[in-house]
A = this chain, B = another copy of it.
């Protein structure tokens, strides 16, 4: 009879969970030993738990099914919390396995003893369970898997005491049935159809599952038929885009811009999305971004089938024959001269390979990425769903393991890359086809903007030093080489293109350090001219609104 860990391993593999991102300790050693009993399970070691959890997030976004993590007690969970938060906010399924002391050891309050469940509730409000008996382990695991991969997906945390893992009498369990979501009910569809037929200015706000091809095509037919506009949530979990797919305009991160973007609409229809709110609060500014006078409707929520709901709406409108607008193939010309963040985005648009997975954690530096890649070959875009930076490199590990045949390109700010820089080692160890591009502008650029946006009056040198990553300047090439990743640095567009070509042609992983000037001005005086220069790259509605606002 298998021990708990062996039975768990078989249960996981039977349920299609075939990758485990790990950073184990002593209490997880029986789980580790059981890896060799289950040929279907791939274990990917990380040097830091935030890498493991971010990899599980990226894997599930692309594989459409959860991976497992393996974390070491409450402290390991703490280290993994930020990227589990991103998964939670992105409604991504993750089976989060946290090893614990043996059940009889907890009362001794040994050094690593802490209250794991309380931490886990932060990211797993829907499912936290500590298994207390080996015989129950696999039933609990199946419950956790069911919870994780339900619609919407969630982070399910299974706490696994060491003695439950090593105990004899594990009983493998068959997998849970897949979720079977229903579309929106007919009355809701009819009501939304009536709104779209009303002649008012309408937009569909697409999120979650509605940003995948079948749903997008249905939404584009609705838009073509009704005149409604298509918007996407600000930070999509996974957005399919590029030439041949319907273009959607993402809500802007800056609340000031998002407000302009939404100002023209009288009705906003939510499709697996929530009504947009400001990322942060600012003194004297509203947090709700939906303008007064705009009515919000919900076609379908996260537990419903977004594509089927949109298909039903197509039918209700009689829009089956409408011709959806699709992005035409188009690439910007290659950039030249001194490298800037905008030129990196242009270079990517110029060279993006077919079927790439693009992970964008470039914060301010990637602002022109959507515009520059709008007509590039079709690709998937993964973004920072929960705002907890340090997601990009770990996501790239998971995406590359989920889709070994697809090139993965991760765009990272210098600040954000450092939170989980240990991911580079796992990229090298697993020989993943990932090109990591780090925008090195030697500062937390976004905070230079935010410091002003929150209305902080005087900004002195001590405050400014908190946003500055210079002195010493980070050398990402050395960091990459220190973890076995091939690296190149570019401060001119030509060198960047050459490095990009090399990285895309040679087996990965690669890191390209793009040395760029400060991408956003630190003062309003500099921000506005910058936005004006950026206007041609901005989404059309936003560009129009800004031009109106900024006109003398």
Q: Which A positions have Cβ atoms within 8 angstroms of B? A: 22, 24-27, 29-30, 32-33, 35-37, 41, 43, 45, 47-48, 50, 74-76, 78-82, 85, 88-89, 101-102, 104-105, 108-112, 114-116, 118-119, 121-123, 125, 162-163, 166, 235, 274, 277-281, 283, 287-288, 384-388, 390, 415, 418-419, 421-422, 425, 428-429, 446-447, 450-451, 453-463, 465-467, 469, 471-479, 481-484
**Complex alpha-carbon distance, A121 and B120, angstroms:** 12
Q: Assess the A415–B47 pair: CB atoms within 8 A.
A: yes
Select one of B112, B456, B457 contacting A279, CB under 8 A: B112
Which single residue of chain B is at the shortest CB-CB distance from A74? B122
Q: Assess the A429–B79 pair: CB atoms within 8 A.
A: no
Q: Assess the B75–A82 pair: CB atoms within 8 A.
A: yes
**Complex alpha-carbon distance, A82 and B77, angstroms:** 9
Q: Assess the A78–B81 pair: CB atoms within 8 A.
A: yes
> A507 CB to closest chain B CB, in angstroms?
14
Select one of B47, B110, B446, B463 contacting A280, CB under 8 A: B110
> A548 CB to closest chain B CB, in angstroms?
27
> A331 CB to closest chain B CB, in angstroms?
31
Question: Which residues of B have CB within 8 Å of A386?
Answer: 75, 111-112
Question: Which residues of B have CB within 8 Å of A119?
Answer: 78, 81, 118-119, 122
Q: Assess the A288–B422 pair: CB atoms within 8 A.
A: no
Give the residue among A29, A388, A473 with the most B Cβ atoms within 10 A: A29
| Given A122-B114, A450-B26, A454-B26, CB of A419 within 8 Å of CB of B481 | no
**Complex alpha-carbon distance, A99 and B79, angstroms:** 18
Q: Assess the B454–A281 pair: CB atoms within 8 A.
A: no
Q: Assess the B26–A280 pair: CB atoms within 8 A.
A: yes
Question: Which residues of B have CB within 8 Å of A419?
Answer: 47-48, 79, 422
Question: Which residues of B have CB within 8 Å of A29?
Answer: 447, 450-451, 454, 456
**Complex alpha-carbon distance, A415 and B25, angstroms:** 11
| Given A47-B419, A114-B122, A454-B166, CB of A105 within 8 Å of CB of B482 | no
Which single residue of chain B is at the shortest CB-CB distance from A454? B29
Q: Assess the B33–A111 pair: CB atoms within 8 A.
A: no
12 CB < 8 A contacts A-B: A24-B447, A24-B466, A26-B454, A29-B456, A48-B418, A79-B390, A104-B287, A105-B277, A112-B279, A119-B119, A478-B479, A479-B479
Which single residue of chain B is at the shortest CB-CB distance from A479? B482
